[in-house]
Structure 1
Amino acid sequence: MSKKNAFYAQSGGVTAVINASACGVIQTASQYPEQIGKVYAGLNGIVGALREELIDVSQESEETIAALRHTPSGAFGSCRYKLKSLEQNRAEYERLIEVFKAHDIGYFFYNGGGDSADTCLKISQLSEKMGYPIQAIHVPKTVDNDLPLTDNCPGFGSVAKYVAVSTKEAALDVASMCATSTKVFIVEVMGRHAGWIAAAGALAQEQEGDAPHIILFPEIAFDKEKFLAKVQDTVEQHGFCVIVASEGAQYADGTFLADAGTTDAFGHKQLGGVAPTLATMIRSELGFKYHWALADYLQRAARHIASATDVEQAYAVGKAAVEAAIAGKNAIMPTIVREQGDEYRWHIGEAPLDQVANVEKMMPREYISEDGFGITDAGRAYLAPLIQGEDYPPYANGIPRYARLKKAMVEKKLADTFEI
């Protein structure tokens, strides 16, 4: 393939380490000047390509690009926008090819989760059919840890660390006040249909009886009577009860405990409100005083407590994506492969996108305790290495210093605009 420019974009919910992947892509691309010309970034993901809103990454200093490694959120802007099939909306693909042609783009690096993998695959397949082949490489990212064919997903380890630490600290607070005040504390975490983030709360436990006392997984059908009995027994035994609840907790018939009644741009049900739902249930049935907290954006933006393992892996998949493209590969995703042995080691592998797109990886039953309220030794052995190590950002005046981008826009070459 002759020398072409590259297009990088971020998609879906951001993480504490997605910019470390961006750093890996940009810094590695600069090492191949004979194959890759400029690197452009989409302003707000794939939407930036459709609108021909491209950021000229070369206008950023080397120091700023390096600082992306310790900067949370999506530095270039993300989006929730899923491309329809070619038959449903050919105009979108024609527009993308038109923009890529206009700016001599031959490499496409899309940093996101399962839906982004689907978009990446479609662009790879359909661009060739439309006469302008694009090498499309998916860069994995999701706090939900639900991508298949990879041991874990960049972004998850840092959320897991945040949830474990926050659960431990909040539990100490509740324990100190439970004699005369709060008896039950509930923290609601993300995860959609998979319980990986909720499971990470168990890493706060050091010995028998430590919080969290109850974890609610989407994979285990919620049984109200069994749950309330567990809360009652825990309060009687320990004086208080700490619960980590996944937003995707659901009844046996598949109904979510907290269905917001809407869907996002990817067609997923909007979830949220499990904690207050459970709190109301506990108060009305058991009469205990409660508090609840919603980790929400805090859990995925907490770069100050990121896992060093997660940061390293996020950078590595960005680097590997570029190297795969240079090697002529297409429609693949770099993966994290856990090696055998007592000591945690990993290396980068790869998976075909047609086996990744729109597939969710759930918590294996063997990782969840028999009663459905905790994790097993196997679950702990899987989770524990992913939160290891600290990678603190630089601080100034007591506050982390994060990258600030110029976001210099590339001059548009197309006369028309595209409505989304």
Structure 2
Amino acid sequence: MSKGTLLYAQSGGVTAVINATASAVIQAARGRKVKVLAARNGILGALREDLVDTSKESPAAIRALAHTPGGAFGSCRYKLKSLEEDQPKYQRLLDVFDAHDVRWFLYNGGNDSADTALKLSQMAAATGYPLTCIGVPKTVDNDLVVTDCCPGFGSAAKYTAVSVAEAALDVAAMADTSTKVFVYEVMGRHAGWLAAAAGLAATGKDAAPQVILFPEVAYDEAKFLARVQEVVKKVGWCVVVVSEGIRHPDGRFVADAGGGKDAFGHSQLGGVGPLLAATVKDKLGLKVHWTVPDYLQRSARHLASKTDLEHAMAVGQAAVDYALEGRNGVMPVIVRTSHKPYRWKVEAAPVARIANREKTMPKGFIDRSGYGITAACRQYLEPLVRGEAPPPYRPDGLPDYVRLKLTTVAKKLPAYG
């Protein structure tokens, strides 16, 4: 058995397959006879010494994580400041790690989580504490740099494309006497990847979604309304997909909810879908319906992409391998080696190249109208949503998701804070 304990934690918004990564991490570590603790609610669990003993979970329960959505160990939005500004917190983390013989730390999250992994790797190097930190990729926004795609995105993209395709059939059926415009809001603060995924639903000319609003393209209300009116006149109805992060030309979010900033300094967004629906209704006089799937986009494990599931488990396995090899401050990333047939592999990339950076949609992925995707974008997206990986179902017809025991280890230090 390797000497030391591996600590795993989840951060930020969860995905349909983040638990699959956790499952792969725990199974890989067990295969190497390494004890795994999980911090409850991300880095806060480490600060609070609120640690779950995963050895108390059965092999069957750990395997079942792979088909269970949510974040089994809890997550958080909490950003550590610099080593100097938050020195007491870093010292607390060192004390907790030392008390529980933690020698490897895996942080499963997005851009800001990569930043935390980077800072902890720097802390270890600065203090001489024997700790290897690995960032593990996860985000439905697909906005991590370096990696070709991000585990969690493929499943959310599949859910989006399927939902838009199905809703479009509904709208088309009712358009003669009812709804003319349907507005579907997707996640995406600065990057339009999920909005683009809706474009996969379009299978021909004039097919829905006829209008996609990307954060990368400044919102022009007059142009948008003219486009909608043109589509309704030609097709009889129109499906609009809008990213929550669209902005006015001056950079202001169209739907800033006015709720202040979160722990990562992000504006609270929400409501761009109903806002646009009201605009269409008031200025064009058309009957409109709208939807904000919100958490449904990232929790729909029943419609997960098989490719996405395979990505999620592969980065979990690789993260353990990198940790035990002592590769401090890296992240396992997806590398696409071929479009047709789709092939990929996992490689290590420095978290310093990833932390606090965002990958937005390339200009070549948005068509000339600014309201649709190009063939190049479709070629990129299609493999990521391929394949089905349904969960097992109970006799009552509902998915058989697992709930862990979450047995905590005894605390050895004074209470935090």
Where on the TM-score scale, by shorter chain, does this alignment land: which range? Answer: over 0.9
Q: What's the counterpart of residue 112 of structure 1? A: 109
Q: What's the counterpart of residue 259 of structure 1? A: 256
Where do residues 80-95 of structure 1 align in structure 2 (5 Å cutoff)? 80-95=77-92
Deviation at 1:133, TM superposition (A): 2.9
Structure 2 counterpart of 1:229, from 226, 230, 239:
226
Over 3 Å counting, the alpha-carbon distance change for 1:290 and 1:73 in structure 2 is same
Structure 1 counterpart of 2:185, from 188, 205, 211:
188
Runs of 4+ in 1 over 3 A off after TM superposition: none
In structure 1, list runs of 5 or more residues that go unmatched.
Answer: none
Moved more, 285-294 or 338-347: 338-347
Amino acid at match of 2:6: A
Q: What's the counterpart of residue 373 of structure 1? A: 371
Q: What's the counterpart of residue 310 of structure 1? A: 308
Tell me whether 1:142 sits opposite 2:143 in the alignment. Answer: no
Q: What's the counterpart of residue 52 of structure 1? A: 49
Counterpart Cα distance in 1 of 2:141 and 2:106: 20
Where do residues 65-84 of structure 1 align in structure 2 (5 Å cutoff)? 65-84=62-81
Structure 2 counterpart of 1:209, from 206, 210, 214:
206
In structure 2, list runs of 5 or more residues that go unmatched.
Answer: none
Counterpart Cα distance in 1 of 2:369 and 2:339: 29
8 Å Cα contact 1:235/1:241 also seen in 2: yes
Q: TM-score, normalised by structure 2?
A: 0.98
Q: What's the counterpart of residue 320 of structure 1? A: 318
Alignment deviations for residues 190-233 of structure 1 (CA, whole Å, 9 cap, x no partner): 01100000000011111111100100000001111110000000
Deviation at 1:251, TM superposition (A): 1.2
Please provide the CA RMSD for this pair. Answer: 1.0
8 Å Cα contact 1:11/1:112 also seen in 2: yes
Q: What's the counterpart of residue 284 of structure 1? A: 282
8 Å Cα contact 2:2/2:32 also seen in 1: no
Alignment deviations for residues 273-324 of structure 1 (CA, whole Å, 9 cap, x no partner): 1111111111111010100000100010000000000001000000000011
Deviation at 1:341, TM superposition (A): 4.7
Alignment deviations for residues 377-397 of structure 1 (CA, whole Å, 9 cap, x no partner): 000000010000000000011
Counterpart Cα distance in 2 of 1:377 and 1:55: 46
Q: What's the counterpart of residue 159 of structure 2? A: 162
Amino acid at match of 2:415: T
Structure 2 counterpart of 1:238, from 235, 240, 244:
235
Tell me whether 1:123 sits opposite 2:123 in the alignment. Answer: no
Alignment deviations for residues 333-352 of structure 1 (CA, whole Å, 9 cap, x no partner): 00000013521010001210
Counterpart Cα distance in 2 of 1:48 and 1:177: 50
Counterpart Cα distance in 2 of 1:350 and 1:83: 24
Counterpart Cα distance in 2 of 1:337 and 1:128: 28
Alignment deviations for residues 113-160 of structure 1 (CA, whole Å, 9 cap, x no partner): 000000001001112322313100011000000000000000000000
Secondary structure of the 1:110 match is strand
8 Å Cα contact 1:124/1:133 also seen in 2: no
Q: TM-score, normalised by structure 1?
A: 0.98
Q: What's the counterpart of residue 387 of structure 1? A: 385
Q: What's the counterpart of residue 101 of structure 1? A: 98
Counterpart Cα distance in 2 of 1:68 and 1:381: 31
Q: What's the counterpart of residue 268 of structure 1? A: 266
Identity of aligned residues (%): 60
Structure 2 counterpart of 1:293, from 291, 294, 298:
291
Counterpart Cα distance in 1 of 2:12 and 2:154: 17
Counterpart Cα distance in 2 of 1:187 and 1:108: 39
8 Å Cα contact 2:140/2:150 also seen in 1: yes
Deviation at 1:86, TM superposition (A): 1.6
Q: What's the counterpart of residue 334 of structure 2? A: 336
Counterpart Cα distance in 2 of 1:47 and 1:328: 24
Deviation at 1:2, TM superposition (A): 6.4
Amino acid at match of 1:403: V
Counterpart Cα distance in 2 of 1:115 and 1:318: 18
Tell me whether 1:64 sits opposite 2:61 in the alignment. Answer: yes
Structure 2 counterpart of 1:348, from 346, 371, 386:
346
Q: What's the counterpart of residue 179 of structure 1? A: 176
8 Å Cα contact 1:159/1:300 also seen in 2: yes
Structure 2 counterpart of 1:248, from 245, 250, 253:
245
